[in-house]
Structure 1
Amino acid sequence: MDCKSLTFKLLSGQDMPLIGFGTFQIRGRSLIKDVLDWALACGYRNIDSAAVYGNEHDIGLALKDLLPKYKLKREDIFITSKLSPSDQGDRARNAVANSLQNLQCGYIDLYLIHWPGASGTPTNSTENAKLRDASWASLIKAKEEGLVKNIGVSNYMVKHLTELLNNCYGVKPAVNQVEWHPGCHEAQLKKLCQKEGILLQAYSSLGGTGNKSLLDDPLVESIAQKLNKTPAQILLRWAVQQNIAIIPKARSRERIEANISLDFVIPDEDMVALSNRKSERYAWNPHSVK
């Protein structure tokens, strides 16, 4: 079992690595190059970014140097970016083009609507639904033009995803990236994604930060000790073992390597115990967006 080679066949037929490298809150040309260098060295081939992360340009510059270093071609790397809520609507196609210009990578493998709402629009406004519908139509144009190979969504709950599937202009979302960990996982959402062939991708796999982190959870710690793994590895493996994609971020070489070293199995009883942990959402709550 080599987790580095695990992939999911998207609706387009393209294979997407199940384990990706997240870059949220990682900025600065030197730091970006260092972490991507370490990530590529230990086997990551999936890089996740977003317009609002402010690091697309530095990622593009880093890859120009690093791909030749590891004898990799553009098609060996899977790159994801996301639509800023400020570009929700008819501007979405141009936002893809802008991300592509920043990344300087020829095409983007996956582009997601980052949030079901729009900047400056109240969460309870029906205008959000109109704008994300316009965004989807615009992303289809970008896909048809070859700017992006796959399009999808992020932070879409069952109601948002059902709405999109009922009016997707013949193009289903390839991926739905949501907060997903033992304290936050909705069975109905997972069931819907599986039924429609949509890859469920987790962010915030380790929970929150500081005293809100799941890394110090007694149950997680006990399973980690039993299996001689780190708490982070347990939380990441919990998702991968369910065929859910992950995008852990890290700034140190040691943690970057550990996060992709998931070639072990969590016993069934421990998987159940983790899944039965109390409900706890650490990031944003998309349920509030109408």
Structure 2
Amino acid sequence: MWKVPTFKLLSGHTIPLVGFGSYLIDGERQTKEVLDKALSAGYRLIDTAAMYGNEQDIGLALKELLPKHNLKREDVFITSKLYPSDHGDQAKNALAESLRKLQSGYIDLYLIHWPGVYGISSRSSENAKLRAASWASLVKAKKEGLVRDIGVSNYTVRHLKELLDNCCGVKPVVNQVEWHPGCHQADLKEFCEREGILLQAYMSLGGSGNKSLLGEPFVVKVAEKLGKQPAQVLLRWSVQQNVAVIPKSRSKEHMEANINLDFVIPDEDMVLLGRRKQEKFDWDPNSVK
């Protein structure tokens, strides 16, 4: 089994570059079955969010599965995220609620899920005020030991610069964004690298249906050349650029393939993949003031 590489965060803690995404996985039975397969396949990072509605199911599953797989809490990296309705001074309380549902003494990484606030116009200056208050609240939670590291998701360079100017002495360690050959911003990657912030990709395989990149000719061509699956090529394309990935799957075979990225994509094929027409498949944070 390929040993998943890790990245040393600004705090000194390490994070696996390949993790398991839990979006759309819910229900106590399904969550337990899926996480059992994921842990067996070698995943040691589980990504969730208050928005996903599965934190409690994940907490219950891990309570039973960790001993089964001879693992301790510290062997598994857990990420969760702030619901966009919980921005402001109450962010620490929202984190504490996620902690309670996960039945864990701490969360490894907690992200502000979205720079905007539900119920407030994306053009309102209140967004900036409330996300700043959220960050200050999460810094308090970090100092109290509720969370090891804090970061953001869907932040643009503009949002990051604003945060870094008033980060209460704690810089974000991760920025989780949509990232794949069809959506990758060089300026964002360069900024994060310069600041020591890890870029973590979601939607690494593109969207669903006709937005999926799995069947696109340029992806299939590289996969056939390397003797790999299209999903493996798309995931390796990110990891090879030191961008972390959190693919989701309910299939044991897909889970095992998605974490087995022990190969190298030649430079010319990396360039070919990156030439794909750029478009946003998911929500666009550029509109949030």
Q: TM-score range by the shorter chain?
A: over 0.9
Provide Cα deviations, 1:224-278, integer angstroms capped at 9, x if missing partner. 1111111111100000001110000001111111110111111100001111211
Aligned partners of 2:4 and 2:259 also within 8 Å? no
Q: Give 2:121's aligned residue.
A: 122
Q: Give 1:175's aligned residue.
A: 174
Mapped to 1, the partners of 2:36 and 2:77 lie a distance apart of 15
Provide Cα deviations, 1:98-121, integer angstroms capped at 9, x if missing partner. 000000011000000000000100
Aligned partners of 2:9 and 2:196 also within 8 Å? yes
Aligned partners of 1:4 and 1:44 also within 8 Å? no
Aligned partners of 1:21 and 1:46 also within 8 Å? yes
Aligned partners of 1:22 and 1:47 also within 8 Å? yes
Q: Give 1:43's aligned residue.
A: 42
Provide Cα deviations, 1:116-162, integer angstroms capped at 9, x if missing partner. 00010000111000000000000001001100000000000111011
Q: Give 2:105's aligned residue.
A: 106
Mapped to 2, the partners of 1:215 and 1:187 lie a distance apart of 22
Mapped to 2, the partners of 1:53 and 1:145 lie a distance apart of 25
Provide Cα deviations, 1:186-239, integer angstroms capped at 9, x if missing partner. 111001100111000000001111111101111001101111111111100000
Q: Give 1:236's aligned residue.
A: 235
What is the aligned length?
Answer: 289
Q: Give 2:53's aligned residue.
A: 54
Q: Give 2:130's aligned residue.
A: 131
Matches within 5 A, 1:267-282: 267-282=266-281
Q: Give 1:207's aligned residue.
A: 206
Matches within 5 A, 1:1-290: 3-290=2-289
Identity of aligned residues (%): 69
Q: Secondary structure at the match of 1:81?
A: strand
Cα deviation, residue 4, structure 1:
3.4
Mapped to 2, the partners of 1:7 and 1:212 lie a distance apart of 30
Aligned partners of 1:4 and 1:19 also within 8 Å? no
Cα deviation, residue 5, structure 1:
2.8
Aligned partners of 2:19 and 2:43 also within 8 Å? yes
Aligned partners of 1:51 and 1:81 also within 8 Å? yes
Aligned partners of 1:85 and 1:118 also within 8 Å? yes
Mapped to 2, the partners of 1:12 and 1:280 lie a distance apart of 33
Cα deviation, residue 3, structure 1:
4.9
Q: Secondary structure at the match of 1:58?
A: helix
Mapped to 1, the partners of 2:33 and 2:177 lie a distance apart of 27
Unaligned runs of 5+ in 1: none
Mapped to 2, the partners of 1:273 and 1:52 lie a distance apart of 35
Mapped to 1, the partners of 2:117 and 2:207 lie a distance apart of 24
User: 2:155 is aligned with what amino acid?
Assistant: Y
User: 1:241 is aligned with what amino acid?
Assistant: Q
Mapped to 2, the partners of 1:250 and 1:233 lie a distance apart of 13
User: 1:175 is aligned with what amino acid?
Assistant: V
Q: Secondary structure at the match of 2:42?
A: coil
User: 1:36 is aligned with what amino acid?
Assistant: L
Q: Secondary structure at the match of 1:138?
A: helix
TM-score of the pair, normalised by structure 1? 0.98
Cα RMSD, aligned residues only: 0.8
Q: Secondary structure at the match of 1:214?
A: coil
Mapped to 1, the partners of 2:53 and 2:222 lie a distance apart of 37
TM-score of the pair, normalised by structure 2? 0.99
Mapped to 1, the partners of 2:14 and 2:4 lie a distance apart of 10
